[in-house]
A and B are shown apart, each in its own frame.
Chain A
Amino acid sequence: ILNVEQSPQSLHVQEGDSTNFTCSFPSSNFYALHWYRWETAKSPEALFVMTLNGDEKKKGRISATLNTKEGYSYLYIKGSQPEDSATYLCAFGPNTNAGKSTFGDGTTLTVKP
């Protein structure tokens, strides 16, 4: 079983704060790293897919970076809004014969107005 860890487990911030959280994954056999956003009572939705060391992706106020050599990815949210409240999942896709990813347990973000 691959070890994919996310920290912190939960985060409470005020509206307007910027925040970031971490996904750690094995640094060997890397294929892809995905970030998903999961709102309560909904299904996870894909945010970013990153495949190359040094990749940076951005969607509005949310961005992500990737370091495959040391096995981590950061997700940043600039100027958090209450609608950003959700659980953010990362998933590690290995470069092996298995067509599956391993998910972290997620970081739950609560943005207070």
Chain B
Amino acid sequence: NAGVTQTPKFRVLKTGQSMTLLCAQDMNHEYMYWYRQDPGMGLRLIHYSVGEGTTAKGEVPDGYNVSRLKKQNFLLGLESAAPSQTSVYFCASSYFWAGIEAFFGQGTRLTVV
């Protein structure tokens, strides 16, 4: 049972480049989330999804887009990367409403130079 898998684990981008982070879960969870973690700031919600085909904005959505075409996958896109998007990104999924007992992926460390 893989749980929540994020790819890639590490990435370095140049300013203005684009990329997509993939989150895959095999637990049949309805709810999926993308967070970013910056030093001293805990986890901040970027976007989330309450089911296949749905997405919603979190606290810090600017500069990011997401898609949930399949229930098991939640993609996070950066169209034009900026140094301010240097962060560690975590994906999470949950069976329950409000992200109760969420399972987290191992994180993606992204550096934008």
Query: Do A104 and B100 touch across chains, with their CB atoms under 8 A apart?
Result: no
Q: Which residues of B lie under 8 Å from residue A103 when comparing CB positions?
A: 35, 42-45
Complexed CA–CA distance, A104 and B44 (Å): 9
The number of residues on chain B lying at the interface, defined by a beta carbon within 8 Å of a beta carbon of chain A, is 28
Query: Do A43 and B105 touch across chains, with their CB atoms under 8 A apart?
Result: yes
Indicate whether B50 reaches chain A with its CB closer than 8 angstroms: yes
Closest chain A residue to B45, Cβ basis: A100
The number of residues on chain A lying at the interface, defined by a beta carbon within 8 Å of a beta carbon of chain B, is 23
Mask for B96-111, Cβ within 8 A of A = 1, else 0?
A: 1111111111110000
Q: Which residues of A lie under 8 Å from residue B31 when comparing CB positions?
A: 99-100
Indicate whether B41 reaches chain A with its CB closer than 8 angstroms: yes
Q: Which residues of A lie under 8 Å from residue B105 when comparing CB positions?
A: 43
Minimum Cβ distance to chain B for residue A31 (Å): 5
Indicate whether A71 reaches chain B with its CB closer than 8 angstroms: no
Query: Do B99 and A93 touch across chains, with their CB atoms under 8 A apart?
Result: yes
The residue that A49 contacts in the complex, of B92, B101, B103, with Cβ under 8 A, is: B101
Closest chain B residue to A103, Cβ basis: B43
With known contacts A32-B98, A99-B31, A99-B98, A43–B107 Cβ distance under 8 A: yes
Indicate whether B56 reaches chain A with its CB closer than 8 angstroms: yes
Query: What are the nearest 7 A-B pairs in CB distance?
Result: A93-B98, A105-B42, A43-B104, A99-B50, A101-B99, A103-B43, A46-B101
Interface CB pairs A-B, < 8 A, 11: A32-B100, A44-B43, A46-B102, A89-B43, A98-B56, A98-B98, A99-B48, A99-B97, A100-B45, A101-B98, A103-B42
B interface residues (Cβ-Cβ under 8 A, vs A): 31, 33, 35, 40-45, 48, 50, 56, 58-59, 90, 92, 96-107
